[in-house]
Amino acid sequence: MSKSLLGPGPITLDVLGLELDAEDRRRILDPLTGGVILFARNFSNRKQLSKLTADIKKLRPDVLISIDHEGGRVQRCKVDGFTHLPAMRKLGELWLTKSKSTHPAESAALAMAAATACGYILAAELRACGVDLSFTPVLDLDFGRSGVIGDRSFSRDPQIVFALAKSLNEGLRLADMANCGKHFPGHGWAEADSHVAIPVDQRSLKEILNEDAKPYEWLDLSLAAVMPAHVIYPKVDQHPAGFSKIWLHSILRQELGFEGVIFSDDLSMEGASVAGSVVKGAELALEAGCDAVLICNRPDMADQLLSKLKLTQAKQSESAARLNRLMPKSAALAWDELQSESEYQHAIGLLKQFQLI
């Protein structure tokens, strides 16, 4: 199809530094661009971040500005007032806290309240600086095998992962931010890091659906977006999940009834290399069921996608309609307003009470 604007395009790409240069502007203005993902290199302080996001929106108001901001070791903004949120494992540990004065049900309730507080603080602080979406929560189970997941996971128990993720999602929603569960159907068993290797999970489909995929099934309509894993599950499909029609269409869409946005994980990662060139990888991901593809830290690859990626008008229209649902519907509180807002103060106080921040 020709490059006509049908809403946000399927490519989410990054920018080089603390402010936009001419090449960043060219890429953002391309109709195939639908999102901009930010990294730590794009953040020095709140004023700079707010200007950067405002400049992006001036160019393309329909572009979704996103970031990986989970808490723990995956948090891009940690200074100049941003709350350094705990790793999600801390919430799972709070759930399991046993003491003479604490009933297990009370521990669970406290952990869920803390998860909601984390979600609200995370979303409210980012939105105050112009960021629309964080790629969170991690729904992977902590089998004690994956170093790249590790303490990013809430728990080994899918019921705990579900309950805490649902609570965190509620906190995001209260600040009018969507969510993105990752890495479908689960990255917790595969030991290799898909950033630098090609992970393989030899378990059966039944095992994966009965454990790893349960949080996705139970969260149902409360999940706004999903990011599949760059993991091969050879007993199900030869392709990594993000390039697999079986995983994305047959299982996620049809069997689990997911109707939200599917983002590919970063196509520059080693786990995506089995798909071939970045253009071939993007085509396979979109054909398998992704609505948007991420390309990070490789502007040369982003340019290849912008110049060579072809997709039908029907596909772009369908994906654009889904992507538009992730946009915040209300104006964000300014940073200074947020600091005195009662809900924010309550959330900060709760995390301090549990010694999570």
Could you tell me if 277 and 285 are in contact, meaning their C-beta atoms sit under 8 angstroms apart?
Answer: no
Residue positions annotated with a catalytic role: 195, 265
The count of structural domains within the chain is: 1
Could you tell me if 115 and 167 are in contact, meaning their C-beta atoms sit under 8 angstroms apart?
Answer: yes
The predicted model gives 145-152 an average pLDDT of 92
In a domain, 223, yes or no: no
pLDDT of 171-192, one tens digit each? 999 999 999 999 999 999 998 7
Q: Find the Cα–Cα–Cα–Cα dihedral 237, 240, 242, 244, rounded to 10°.
A: -20
The whole domain housing 166 covers 81-177+336-357
How confident is residue 87, by pLDDT bands cut at 50, 70 and 90? very high
The predicted model gives 5-33 an average pLDDT of 92
In a domain, 266, yes or no: no
**The pLDDT value given to residue 277:** 85
How confident is residue 349, by pLDDT bands cut at 50, 70 and 90? very high
**The pLDDT value given to residue 3:** 47
**The pLDDT value given to residue 183:** 96
How confident is residue 100, by pLDDT bands cut at 50, 70 and 90? very low
In a domain, 349, yes or no: yes
CB-based contacts of 142: which residues, under 8 Å, 6+ apart?
89, 92, 149, 150, 151, 153, 154, 155, 156, 188
Residue 287 reports pLDDT greater than 70: yes
In a domain, 160, yes or no: yes
Per-position b or e across 168-195, b if 16+ CB within 10 A of its CB: bbbbbbbbbbbbbbbbbbbbbbbebbbe
Percentage of the chain modeled with pLDDT above 90: 83
- The Cα–Cα gap between 290 and 244 comes to 10
- Return the minimum-mean-pLDDT range out of 101-105, 256-260, 342-346: 101-105
Q: What is the pTM of this model?
A: 0.94
How confident is residue 312, by pLDDT bands cut at 50, 70 and 90? confident
- Return the minimum-mean-pLDDT range out of 34-48, 59-73, 75-89, 191-205: 191-205
In a domain, 320, yes or no: no
In a domain, 294, yes or no: no
- Of 59, 8, 74, 57, the residue nearest 35 (C-alpha): 8
Residue 325 reports pLDDT greater than 90: yes
In a domain, 44, yes or no: no
Residue 19 reports pLDDT greater than 60: yes
In a domain, 290, yes or no: no
- The Cα–Cα gap between 284 and 243 comes to 6
